[in-house]
Amino acid sequence: MLEIKIKTFHQLSLDELYALLALRSEVFVVGQQCPYQDLDYKDQEAMHLLACEDSKLVACLRILAHAENHTMSIGRVAALQASRGKGYGKQIMAAALNYLNTNHNEENIIISAQHYLLKFYSNLGFNAVGDIYDEDGIPHIRMEIPR
């Protein structure tokens, strides 16, 4: 059974933080062969969702507030390769949207989605906005849920 925890950066244990960073590195840097600066000093301001199966982190994401344009963003959505196809990405995104609907129901929700995941995010209620753009060598598209 999948257990999803929502924590601030300072609520993360050292083991949870290490697992979170290892998962993101495995998915984005190694799996997608995309060297990029993951440690961007935004994690300290984020809400982190951790999805665990049998106490092992299998998926994660972070939520950031953008006060300057009154939006909330979901990013760094990652799932272990071995756990894909089990619906964990959908479950963790549903938990993130539920958190935002409960705690930030007036702000638009934005994501920078990898283009090949357009249908996945569309099925969660996101709408594509604008053109495809390059982010770290991978085609992305801005998507949002307007409020």
CATH code of the domain containing 52: 3.40.630.30
- pLDDT at res. 115: 96
The band of 82, judged by pLDDT with boundaries at 50, 70 and 90, is confident
- pLDDT at res. 88: 94
The band of 84, judged by pLDDT with boundaries at 50, 70 and 90, is confident
Tally of structural domains, the chain: 1
Nearest in space to 126 (alpha carbons), one of 137, 138, 114, 135: 114
Q: Residue 97: give the domain boundaries.
A: 2-145
CB count in 10 Å sphere of residue 143: 22
Q: Which residues is 51 bridged to in the sheet?
A: 4, 59
pLDDT at 92 over 90: yes
pTM: 0.94
* 85 vs 121, residue with greater confidence: 121
Diameter over CA atoms, the chain: 40
**pLDDT one-digit tens code per residue, 28-81:** 988 888 888 889 999 999 999 999 999 999 999 999 999 889 999 999 999 998
* Rounded Cα–Cα distance for residues 91 and 51 (Å): 9
| Structure token digits, residue 72 | 């909330």
